[in-house]
């Protein structure tokens, strides 16, 4: 084996469990809630958001690093569509979108935050890429190309709180086909991306190509101090998984295709991609009216035989809050829908929780790790067992023990040979002896021994409470 390939390398992904917000916030009276919008000195600073009837436009407004927009009014005309994706100006993957409106909101057309379908493995020129989520959602995993005996492109996992581990399931796998988060949509969390069927060797060691995973639906709060009328639609559905071809290359009988590429994406040598989960839609106003529709359906997994899949990722969540529910707005699926009295926007929430891997085997992880297998986040020398050092911020500690997290830290190592659970439920995790200060809710450090194999691995770390 080439020595370079024997050096362990890692790509990292950090996820946070969703803690409940303080219930006392729900006691805030309506005048204070809507004064947060109308009394803001910046109210209306982004002008009017208007899409004329019959037009289809993509989001082009610039923004800062908050994705918070303060409009005087919103009017989406009949038959019009406004598409907002995580790669549009002012948007970012996993960062929810906030429309604070000091005036009326009228949506007769469609606001589209759907996740993109995963890439199909259908042709000789298959070039896998990650699928794009709706604004506030998470990307679907990149597909994979295997051409015996080489992996020309390795697949990547879908991202987000309910991501699917490669080779196991779609974006709802971790949560058992149930939506994550809470019924109040605080915090507001978008849909997770589905994964390709597997990464690296699969099916008893026989290499396969894979279609890409569908992206997650977006996440949006539309809050008006006046009223919201919805006779059109707001959609944040998850993207379908990509399909693999049914003998697409073999149709050429190999005349123009090298022998080692034959069957690259046919149904025998390729697998489908898994779907992205539905996103989150919250509407807040003194009055909500209309006969429109909200859509947070999960996407459907791809197919490798031309037949529609029966497997579907988790649906998302919707919530309508007003003093007067005079609407007949429907939700897809209906079980995703909740409504109630107005509550705060949540934009004044405390600092967000965070978990970060700092080093592996004494080697610092590079800044801004992105879990890209093509550009590992850390290289280290010990292929057997290495100490992983990580830090939590704004995570509650157990009252009786300031040296351990309040609930569960889970660390998963995904290697070419499969997925291995190395650390779970706190076992093996101890206080970092080199931290030099007490662990607190605001900041704490821990270390854990993790076993790695030579080659490339991916770490997923998440914490729940």
- 437 and 340 together in one domain: no
Give the domain-ending residue among 350, 379, 403. Answer: 350
Residues 269 and 311 in one domain: yes
Q: Examine the domain organization and report whether 342 and 429 are in the same domain.
A: no
Number of residues that this document lists for the chain:
465
pLDDT(225) > 90? yes
Residue range 391-423, pLDDT digits in tens: 888 777 654 444 444 445 556 565 544 434 444
Mean per-residue pLDDT, 157-167:
62
The last residue of one of the domains, among 315, 330, 350, is 350
Residue 28 pLDDT > 80: no
- Asked whether residue 337 falls in the same domain as residue 234, the answer is yes
Same domain as 9, residue 28: no
Please give the tally of structural domains in the chain: 2
User: Which distant-in-sequence residues (6+ apart) come within 8 Å of 167 by Cβ?
Assistant: 195, 197, 198, 199, 202, 418, 419
- 375, 417: one domain: yes
- Average pLDDT rounded to a whole number, residues 415-443: 60
Question: Domain residues for 235?
Answer: 20-350
> pLDDT at position 243, please?
80
Looking at the structure, do residues 427 and 298 belong to the same domain, yes or no?
A: no
pTM equals 0.68
- Alpha carbon distances (Å) from 465 to 9, 45, 407: 30, 38, 5
Examine the fold and report which residue of 294, 322, 350 is the final residue of a domain before the chain moves on: 350
Residues 241 and 372 in one domain: no
pLDDT tens, position by position, 92-120: 899 999 999 999 999 999 999 999 998 88
The per-residue pLDDT for 432 is 76
Are 61 and 140 in a shared domain? yes
Judged by phi (left if over 0) then psi (alpha if -120 to 50, else beta), residue 415 lies in beta
Residues 163 and 236 in one domain: yes
Question: Do both 13 and 25 map to the same domain?
Answer: no
Task: Map residue 201 onto helix, strand or coil.
Answer: coil
Burial 270-290 (b: 16+ CB within 10 A, else e): bbbbbbbbbbbbbbbbbbbbb
What does the pLDDT read at residue 125? 57
Note whether 50 and 161 are same-domain residues: yes
């Amino acid at each position: 084996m080439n020595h370079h390939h024997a050096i362990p390398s890692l790509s990292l992904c950090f996820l946070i469990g969703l803690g409940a917000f303080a219930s006392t916030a729900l006691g805030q009276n309506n005048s204070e809630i809507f004064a947060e919008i109308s009394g803001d000195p910046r109210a209306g600073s982004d002008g009017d958001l208007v899409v004329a009837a019959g037009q289809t436009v993509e989001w082009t407004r610039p923004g800062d690093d908050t994705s918070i927009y303060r409009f005087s009014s919103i009017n989406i005309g009949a038959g019009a569509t406004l598409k907002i994706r995580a790669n549009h100006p002012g948007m970012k993957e996993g960062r929810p979108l906030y429309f604070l409106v000091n005036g009326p909101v009228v949506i007769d057309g469609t606001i589209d935050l759907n996740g993109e379908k995963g890439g199909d493995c259908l042709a000789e020129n298959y070039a896998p890429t990650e699928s794009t989520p709706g604004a506030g959602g998470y990307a679907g995993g990149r597909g994979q190309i295997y051409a015996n005996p080489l992996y020309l492109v390795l697949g990547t996992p879908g991202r987000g709180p309910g991501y699917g581990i490669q080779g196991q399931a779609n974006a709802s796998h971790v949560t058992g086909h149930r939506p994550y988060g809470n019924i109040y949509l605080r915090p507001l969390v978008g849909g997770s991306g589905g994964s390709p069927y597997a990464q690296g060797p699969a099916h008893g060691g026989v290499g396969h190509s894979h279609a890409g995973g569908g992206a997650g639906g977006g996440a949006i709060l539309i809050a008006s101090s006046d009223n919201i009328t919805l006779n059109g639609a707001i959609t944040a559905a998850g993207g379908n998984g990509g399909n693999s071809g049914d003998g697409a290359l073999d149709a050429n009988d190999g005349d123009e295709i090298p022998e080692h590429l034959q069957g690259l994406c046919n149904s025998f040598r390729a697998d489908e991609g898994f779907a992205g989960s539905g996103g989150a839609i919250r509407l807040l106003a003194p009055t909500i009216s209309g006969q429109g529709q909200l859509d947070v359906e999960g996407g459907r997994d791809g197919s490798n035989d031309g037949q529609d899949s029966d497997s579907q990722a988790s649906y998302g969540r919707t919530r309508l809050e007003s003093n007067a529910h005079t609407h007949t707005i429907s939700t897809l699926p209906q079980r995703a829908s909740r409504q109630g009295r107005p509550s705060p926007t949540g934009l004044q929430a405390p600092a967000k929780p965070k978990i970060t891997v700092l080093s592996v085997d004494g080697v610092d992880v590079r800044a801004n790790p992105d879990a890209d297998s093509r550009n590992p986040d850390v290289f280290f020398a010990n292929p057997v067992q290495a100490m992983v050092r990580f830090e939590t911020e704004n995570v509650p500690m157990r009252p009786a023990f300031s040296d351990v997290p309040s609930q569960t830290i889970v660390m998963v190592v995904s290697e070419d040979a499969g997925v291995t659970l190395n650390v779970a439920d706190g076992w093996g995790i101890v206080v970092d002896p080199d931290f030099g200060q007490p662990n607190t809710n605001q900041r704490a450090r821990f270390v854990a021994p993790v076993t790695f194999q030579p080659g490339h691995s991916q770490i997923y770390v998440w914490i729940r409470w």
